[in-house]
Amino acid sequence: MTADEINALDADDDYYVDLGSNLWLMDNHKWALYIWHRFRGASEIPKFSLVHADYHWDGGSDFHGSEEDEQKILNADEAGLQQLIREENLIRYDSFIAPAVLRGYLSEVHFFCKQNEYDIGIDADLLARTGTLQEIHDTVEALAAQEFSSPLIYDLCLDLFNKSNMHYGSDIWPDEEIVGFLDACKPLVEKAELVTVSLSFGCSGTKDDTRRLARLVLPKLEEWRPRCRQERINAAPAGGGT
């Protein structure tokens, strides 16, 4: 994604785009579920390990306690799932991981989150019913050293780097801390079968903060995804760099 394209980004609940090398960018994090669903079908990988790096847990279960709502999610085909997400019917920006657990997409979920509130992670009953494991990581070093039981999805929200929990509030990590986190996660980004990234305008600081974070983060992710790197090499003029 070019600097001009990043500078043109704005809040858009229906925005999601393929950046190549199984790297997807969205604004509203709810679309991660749809992208995981599509990739699972195309790859024929039955279950994934998920790393969720975000300020928020996003582990809400909007279907909790309702057999009817569970069946809506379980029975939705691709078009139906897309509709549920677009209409925010049982699947929203903070409740898109639990439906992936319910639908059997995940063997384990690894959280690296800064939100210090109740309802940490995924509901224990849902984990037990689906046989899904969950682990909470307090340090990026522990996260990066994790061994996974299934092919990996790396899921990042840019609001991880904002200490403010106010809408459009701005308390952004220093650049060196952001770069340090990203560098520590580089092995995960490189090994992941799929990487999903949410901009989360409104949660990731001011709009200018969000764009600045995107300018800092996205080039590194693109560099570390193998096909992106090869595409740049192939496109470079003779005698040029990468």
> How high is the pLDDT of residue 238?
41
- Identify whether the C-beta of residue 210 lies closer than 8 Å to the C-beta of residue 172: no
Both structure tokens of 202: 């409104």
Local structure of 119: helix, strand or coil: coil
> How high is the pLDDT of residue 227?
61
Q: For each of the chain's 242 residues, which pLDDT tens digit applies?
A: 999 999 999 999 999 999 999 999 999 999 999 999 999 999 999 999 999 999 999 999 999 989 999 999 999 999 999 999 999 999 999 999 999 999 999 999 999 999 987 679 999 999 999 999 999 999 999 999 999 999 999 999 999 999 998 999 999 999 999 999 999 999 999 999 999 999 999 999 999 999 999 999 999 999 999 765 555 455 544 433 33
What is the model's pTM? Answer: 0.93
- Identify whether the C-beta of residue 83 lies closer than 8 Å to the C-beta of residue 39: no
> How high is the pLDDT of residue 242?
30
Both structure tokens of 4: 């001009």
**Phi/psi-derived region of residue 45, left when phi > 0, alpha when psi is between -120 and 50, beta in every other case:** beta
Alpha-carbon span 238 to 30, nearest angstrom? 42
- Identify whether the C-beta of residue 24 lies closer than 8 Å to the C-beta of residue 17: yes
At the topology level of CATH, where does 17-235 sit?
Arginase; Chain A (3.40.800)
The DSSP secondary-structure symbol of 174 reads P
Both structure tokens of 69: 């709502």
> How high is the pLDDT of residue 90?
96
Alpha-carbon span 5 to 9, nearest angstrom? 7
> How high is the pLDDT of residue 226?
76
> How high is the pLDDT of residue 119?
75
* Helical packing angle, 175-191 and 207-224, nearest 10°: 40
> How many CA atoms lie within 13 Å of 152's alpha carbon, on the beta-carbon side?
20
